Chains A and B, each alone.
Chain A
Amino acid sequence: MNCRQAQDLLPAYALGALEPPNVEAVEAHVALCPQCAPVAAGYLRATAALALVAPPTEPPPDLRSRVLQWAAQTPQASPIAAMPEAGGSTVAPRTLLTPWRSLPLWAASVAAAVSLAVAGALLLAVSDLRKEIQQLREDNQGMTETLRQQRDLVYTIAIPGMETTVLRSAGGASKARGMMMVSKDHTWGVVVSQGLELKKSMGYQLWLTRDGQRVNGGVLSVDETGYGYLWVKYPEPLYLYSGVSVTLEPAGGSVWPTTDPVLSAPVQAQ
């Protein structure tokens, strides 16, 4: 599909009046076309405003808790697997696929192979996890969250083209280490760590270094066993940064680092 064809179909697309095969073709084009994307966004904003004719109405009171409870049990889709769509396709809660099942078959087999390859590196984290799961039996909420992270992680590993970088403790001062997986397009990634000592009211924060400045990458969730996890969406593609590091900061994170890095790694320039 070229721009002329796409723009011919965009009004009907924004009005929801396009037949399915065309919807997919338009979305695929718009996702990659810098000319058509703003036109589509403008049309969609206009049609979303048409919804204002309806009076806002309170939904049934228990719906909120059902939605949140479902969310607690469901891992979020990765951006690469759920390729572009303007809120189109139907994913009914009843028929929700797990990330594994929503992967194409070839990806699942790549996943199996890649999982074997990284199994060694993750072995420690996994044995930590076993202990941890024991402890968490009573704490259902916490366990659900850990499982969510694990599934997320396995899912991330399964994506072809993920790059892996090892984070080491600065100067080999501690046993702490970490692993950073970065998407092919360098826009998001997952950081896992082990051996970080959990300290009260403190947290481990990820920093991205660029031109000597360090910007916030988020705070890892670390448990008693030292296993840490963070899903990161990089403000700019990762290759624009020169390195990443992790520092101990007050819980919730700091505006800039206040302690020396406990983990760090350079970023490969592209």
Chain B
Amino acid sequence: MSYGALSEEQLIALVQQGDRDALGELYDRRSKAVFGFALHLLRDMAKAEEVTQEVFLNVWLKARTFDPSRGGFNTWVMTMAHHKAIDQMRRIQRQRTALEEAAQDSLVHLDTSSDSPLMGAQKAQEAETVRKALETLPAEQRTVITLAYYQGLSQSEIATRLKQPLGTVKTRMRLAIQKLRVALAPFQEPT
């Protein structure tokens, strides 16, 4: 069977039947995105590798719990990658006590990697669109997205850091995510 022609939903259905070649094909398609993202968040090759490994082991282990109505294969994989990477970040942050300066770094984080030679033109354009979408958000909304998604802070940690009530942080998150949903619609998997 030629796996190259199959959709990711077809491949995960094969993985559900215990097909390891299908797992290999999914790895070939998505491991670069997962590893790149983990590396971007963690800035550490070994930790990014650990995250990538855990993600694909979970694709195997939990294939049968995968539910396409909850956002498609890519969403599933990238959500796992994000959770595992922020788990790592929190572990690292717990070890360091004085990380407050990192908050000032938050926006630098977004525009460091725009011209990696490894990035194909299409990927670079996607990254650019995401960056633009983030830039169009009001600064206070962009900050909560950055602190939460790219720096792994919880909503109450963000409230404390910004000296804002939790309700305000929640409202900013909601408004931001609703705008991003529209702005990033082209990259999102169909339901």
Asked whether, in the complex, the Cβ of A57 is within 8 Å of the Cβ of B118, the reply is: yes
Is A67's CB under 8 angstroms from B82's CB? no
Decide: A78 and B64 in contact? CB cutoff 8 A.
yes
The 8 A CB mask of B56-77 against A (1 = contact, 0 = none) is 1110111111010111101111
A67-B56, A148-B18 are known contacts. Are A47 and B79 too (CB-CB below 8 A)? yes
Query: Which residues in A have their C-beta under 8 angstroms from that of B83?
Result: 16, 87-88, 90
**With contact pairs A52-B127, A87-B79 given, residues A59 and B32 touching in the complex (Cβ less than 8 Å):** yes
- Considering the complex, give the chain A residue whose CB is closest to the CB of B147: A17
Contacts of B71 in A (CB 8 A): 41-42, 44-45, 48, 86
Chain B residues with CB under 8 Å of A46's CB are 177, 180-181, 184, 188
From B72, which residue of chain A is reached at the shortest CB distance? Answer: A45
Q: Tell me what chain B mostly uses at the interface: helix, strand, loop, or mixed.
A: helix
Within 8 A of B (CB), among A88-129: 88, 90-93, 96
Identify A49's interface contact among B80, B130, B173, CB under 8 A.
B130
**What distance in Å separates the Cβ of A154 from its nearest Cβ neighbour in chain B?**
16
Per the 8 Å Cβ criterion, residues 112-149 of B in contact with A are 113, 116, 118-120, 123-124, 126-127, 129-131, 134, 145, 148-149
Residues of A within 8 A of B64 (CB): 76-79, 82, 188, 231, 233
Q: Taking the nearest CB of chain A, how far is it from the CB of B47, in angstroms?
A: 12
The distance in angstroms between the C-alpha atoms of A66 and B27, with both chains bound, is 12
Q: A37-B69, A49-B130 are in contact. List 9 more A-B contacts (CB 8 A).
A: A12-B173, A42-B71, A46-B181, A51-B81, A52-B127, A54-B39, A57-B36, A82-B62, A86-B79
Partner-B contacts on A (CB < 8 A): 8, 11-12, 14-19, 37-38, 40-60, 63-64, 66-68, 70-72, 74, 76-79, 82-88, 90-93, 96, 145, 148, 188, 218, 231, 233, 252
